[in-house]
Structure 1
Amino acid sequence: MEDHRGYDREEIFSKRVKAGKRTYFFDVKSTRANDYYLTITESKRKPNGDGFTYEKHKIFLYKEDFLKFVDALNESVEHVKTELLPDYDFEQFSNDESEEEEYNNELKWE
């Protein structure tokens, strides 16, 4: 008998954030009881011989912790931006995904 635990979770929403050799995935999934949770996955590309392997780390975030998590993340980021690196231009790293998607769409064969 095969074990299919964890494979029956429906993905509701997904957002990908590319960051150099890392990619972050934010995936909203549903449980069998029609509840929702968020998985945050960091995928890091590492050289392996002639190719690459991907090292993945995953966090499961449940609805009762959403606000606490977001508050702590925002507070931590603001601390770095205002107290530790007030003169640093964080906007230089902003990447408009719509421009990236438009570029990628131009490369598709029709």
Structure 2
Amino acid sequence: MESVYSKRIRAGKRRTYFFDVRATRSNDYYLTITESRKKFNEDGYDRHKIFLYKEDFNKFLKALTEAVDYVKTELMPDFDFDAYNHDNVQENEGGYQETAVDDTVEDEVRHTPTSGTHTPTGEEVDKW
């Protein structure tokens, strides 16, 4: 399906995450989250993809935020997570050069305006 928005996040030398908003034929939207890892001793990439549908956006975001906050505050409160920001990617003669930055910098964003309204819901996240 057609991608109406795309965000790429480089995570080190071998890993990249892609967030793509895609449109269906019926003008509905969903999100795909893809992890792409360069194979260590081979050519090519391993890809893992999650399809996230609009009715699950709020629950997914809440659960993800809770899990990340738990790791940051309860399990690793003294760890400097900002030391691992490698978002500042510069094109360098046909290749890419990655440099660490102090603040998060958006890498590559493509956005196509769409019609519709955004109405967040206050859905609860199921705990296991």
Q: Looking at both structures, which has the greater relative contact order when contacts are Cα pairs under 8 Å and sequence separation is at least 6?
A: 2
Code of the aligned partner of 2:82: E
Q: Deviations over 1:40-63 (max 9, x none)?
A: 011111121xxx221111100000
> Greater CA deviation, 56-65 or 15-24?
15-24
Q: Percent identity?
A: 58
Q: Pick the structure with greater CA Rg.
A: 1
Q: Could you say which residue in structure 2 is the equivalent of 1:29?
A: 22
Counterpart pick for 2:59 among 68, 72, 81: 68
Q: Which residues of structure 2 form unaligned runs of 5+?
A: 95-128
Distance 2:48 2:80 in 1: 28
- Runs of 4+ in structure 1 off by over 3 angstroms are none
Q: Could you say which residue in structure 1 is the equivalent of 2:113?
A: none
Distance 2:46 2:93 in 1: 28
Distance 2:86 2:65 in 1: 19
Q: Which residues of structure 1 form unaligned runs of 5+?
A: 1-8
TM-score by length of 2: 0.67
The question of 1:54 aligning with 2:45 is answered yes
The Cα of 1:78 is off from its aligned counterpart by: 0.3
The question of 1:11 aligning with 2:3 is answered yes
Tell me the number of residue pairs that the alignment of Structure 1 and Structure 2 aligns.
Answer: 92
Code of the aligned partner of 2:32: T
The question of 1:87 aligning with 2:78 is answered yes
